[in-house]
Structure 1
Amino acid sequence: MAEVVAPVPVLHAGPTVEAVLTEVTRRTGADAGQDMSPATAAEFFGGVRVDLGAEEAVAQARTFAPDLIIVETADYLGRFAAAVLDVPVVTHGVGIALEEQLAHAMDAAAATRLSALELTLPEPRASVDPWPACLQRDTWQPPVGRIAIRSEAYESEAPESEPHASGAHEGEDESEGAKLAFPGRENLPRVLVTLGTFLDEPELLAAIVDSLAGPEVNVVVAVNPSAQANTAPTDRAGVRVVGFVPMRRLLEGVDVVVASGGAGTVLAVLGSGIPMVLLPKGLDKPLNAERASAVGAAIVVDSPDQTGKAVTKVLSDESFAHGASMVAQEVAEMNSVETVLTLLLDHLS
């Protein structure tokens, strides 16, 4: 993220995800990439990450000398540093709120590490939450000090990358990025297919695109930024393949989004009032997909070959667009970034 937030300085601290996964498996025998049980998640977030990264995180925090530390909800390195430096802390959500049992297990694991220093795990002064209430679990209750923040599809002022090599057509002006032309097919619905920036499965993308050969639609396929040109789905009439393009531009003119259910994608798409077809792939994605379906904004499928039929249903049934627009309306009513910053600074006074 250093390039995205430049010129804000970024101080690196803590172990890599791969290092933590390896150590969790060594200690417990569990695969933390798939096992989201309280015991395994607690060992990953509140245990191993702290054991491997606390010293470096505290050192970097001392260098930066913060007045307030804002941490992702499951990041205990930041809360560890806040305890050592005696600095107030605020949590910032990324996904749907953690289940109470899971949150308590993670807190307990981190608290054990702090107790060795005769310190306690600091309670957050506030909780910044980008998820609208309608997408939370039915049993969810807003925590004390919750500050709702309006999520927005990413848009960079820098020129977007060129479309993927397999998506370029001779003689076309590609400077418009996401506004990819479909000559002679302009009247057809547009479908965006993306697995986000974390998942890179070219075979899965290709299978989804094959399934979309049935419906009369135009398809934009956003491949993983690290994907190689020869791993992208084959380009054909009605299908365009692009590299990294800011999400706001990708969503222009799109009628349905097919995705794997990552938090950033779901928030960006539903916040823009666009319905979805979701093929969830691991971690929090099944829950995100379940909640999007529960509010009538998405269809959840089990395999890529079901995608085409699901897209046809979403396009023909206006209730899905209505469900997405209801989510977008709630998102629009949440606090702006500027308002949230003001509220957070108030916690320092």
Structure 2
Amino acid sequence: MRILFSGTPAFGHLLPMLPLARAARRAGHDTAFLTHPSMARAVAPAPVLPAGPTVDAVLAEVVRRTGADATTDMTPATPAEFFGRARVDLGADEALAVTAAFGPDLVIVETADYLGRLAAAANGVPWVSHGVGIALDHVLARAMDEAAAGRFAARGLRATERIASIDPWPDSLQRDDWKPSPDRIVIRPEPYDSDDAASWSTPRFPGREDRPRVLVTLGTIVDDDEVLATIVASLEPHDVNVVVAVNPAADVETLRVDRTRVRPVGFVPMRRLLDGVDVVVSAGGAGTVLSALRTAVPMVLLPMGLDKPLNAERVANVGAAVVVHRPEEIGDAVAGVLGDPSFRTAAAAMARQMTDTQSAAEVLRQVLVRMP
């Protein structure tokens, strides 16, 4: 079978689908990713079918059309313009051409991707939704669906059947008013790893091995040296070892820190970064949150836009994180988490919940049984 995976060209949108793509290849299926070529290394060894613009190009198009900033505006109209209209308009012709050549039997799309759904419609095959975080609010989801439906209709296409909704987000972290869809399949989330990182070794802190280790990351989108520097400064009085994972596009050397106790690193798979970590400090991105919980590491969260405040609220609600609102507050919050074992206990409970869910191979088998 030929299985096409499709997603917005951003780490947080594509990496959650990699375990299922690996399971598909191990089961003997042909796989490919429909996305921008800049993500080829992240999704390797699956080939990329190049289609659609970069995230920055779509952001610029949304600003040109509406004046809105889709990185901060979560009112339904702006994400609907970004995902349902602008990204489809800029990538549809290319997506339809490359997917016709690939000839998929099934398309698996991340929640907010409509180019993959368009390809499924054009090829007359079913599709599967793959979540990346907390389920979208129904008003927002409807706005995005309606925006994309207009683009489909303009090409004489109608969406084909969705046969499953794959969800890596635990029930206990969903909204209080959330109800699962009837076709939902829960998948065990896995921190991202890569064979390319095999030679990477965990940073050492000679003479300081007995200190707690703190991982600081603002994720793969946010690039703010000033915030990172403030966070690191807030940690200094607490005598901890700090690993700072900077934005993939950032220069590690520009971060001015005391390198006897702070190790800045570039893009490293989260599975490797979490080795030996006692607390994660992050902006609350879904991938970082799930990865930390999967490995039973508590968090201090400084939410920085979009879905991150909700992610942070839900993790704090189960007792696995402290939420702060200024970077200066992070040092004291980390000390509080380190000094209170209830945070690690809560994170370990979440890790057990995730371990008890289905593997990617098991989920794949369930999906294929639903094929018409």
Q: TM-score, normalised by structure 2?
A: 0.85
| Contact 1:177/1:245 (<8 A) preserved | no
| Aligned residue number for residue 326 of structure 2 | 303
RMSD (Å) for aligned C-alpha atoms: 1.7
| Equivalent-residue separation in structure 1 for 2:329 and 2:351 (angstroms) | 26
| Equivalent-residue separation in structure 1 for 2:190 and 2:96 (angstroms) | 32
3-state DSSP of counterpart to 1:241: strand
| Aligned residue number for residue 139 of structure 1 | 177
Mapping of residues 1-12 of structure 1, within 5 Å: 1-12=39-50
Instruction: Give the drift of 1:176.
Output: 6.1
Q: Deviations over 1:126-157 (max 9, x none)?
A: 01111111111111111111111111122223
| Aligned residue number for residue 339 of structure 1 | 362
**Compared CA separation, residues 260 and 233, structure 1 to 2 (3 A):** farther
| Contact 2:246/2:252 (<8 A) preserved | no
3-state DSSP of counterpart to 1:11: strand
Instruction: Give the drift of 1:158.
Output: 3.0
Mapping of residues 33-52 of structure 1, within 5 Å: 33-52=71-90
**Compared CA separation, residues 229 and 222, structure 1 to 2 (3 A):** closer
- Write the letter of the residue equivalent to 2:320: A
3-state DSSP of counterpart to 1:277: strand
3-state DSSP of counterpart to 1:213: helix
Mapping of residues 172-187 of structure 1, within 5 Å: 177-178=201-202, 180-187=203-210
Instruction: Give the drift of 1:32.
Output: 1.6
| Residue of 344, 347, 350 corresponding to 1:327 | 350
3-state DSSP of counterpart to 1:192: strand
| Aligned residue number for residue 158 of structure 2 | 120
As a proportion of its length, which structure holds more strand?
Answer: 2
| Contact 2:197/2:269 (<8 A) preserved | no
**Compared CA separation, residues 182 and 117, structure 1 to 2 (3 A):** closer
- Write the letter of the residue equivalent to 1:316: G
Instruction: Give the drift of 1:159.
Output: 4.0
**Compared CA separation, residues 276 and 345, structure 1 to 2 (3 A):** same
3-state DSSP of counterpart to 1:87: coil
| Equivalent-residue separation in structure 2 for 1:315 and 1:57 (angstroms) | 48
| Residue of 285, 290, 295 corresponding to 1:262 | 285
| Contact 2:84/2:145 (<8 A) preserved | yes
- Write the letter of the residue equivalent to 2:60: T
* Structure 1: unaligned runs, 5 residues or longer: 161-174
1:110 has 2:148 as partner: yes
| Contact 2:284/2:312 (<8 A) preserved | yes
| Equivalent-residue separation in structure 2 for 1:227 and 1:235 (angstroms) | 18
3-state DSSP of counterpart to 1:224: coil
* Structure 2: unaligned runs, 5 residues or longer: 1-38
| Aligned residue number for residue 304 of structure 2 | 281
**Compared CA separation, residues 114 and 155, structure 1 to 2 (3 A):** closer
- Write the letter of the residue equivalent to 1:72: E
| Aligned residue number for residue 224 of structure 1 | 247
If you compute each CA radius of gyration, which structure gives the higher value, 1 or 2? Answer: 1
| Equivalent-residue separation in structure 1 for 2:89 and 2:200 (angstroms) | 47
| Aligned residue number for residue 111 of structure 2 | 73
Instruction: Give the drift of 1:248.
Output: 1.6
Instruction: Give the drift of 1:243.
Output: 2.5
Percent of residue pairs bearing the same amino acid type? 60
| Contact 1:256/1:275 (<8 A) preserved | yes
3-state DSSP of counterpart to 2:185: strand
**Compared CA separation, residues 292 and 233, structure 1 to 2 (3 A):** farther
- Write the letter of the residue equivalent to 2:258: D
| Aligned residue number for residue 165 of structure 1 | none
Q: Which moved more, 1:111-120 or 1:203-212?
A: 111-120
Q: TM-score, normalised by structure 1?
A: 0.91
| Equivalent-residue separation in structure 2 for 1:230 and 1:4 (angstroms) | 23
| Equivalent-residue separation in structure 2 for 1:97 and 1:26 (angstroms) | 29
- Write the letter of the residue equivalent to 1:326: A
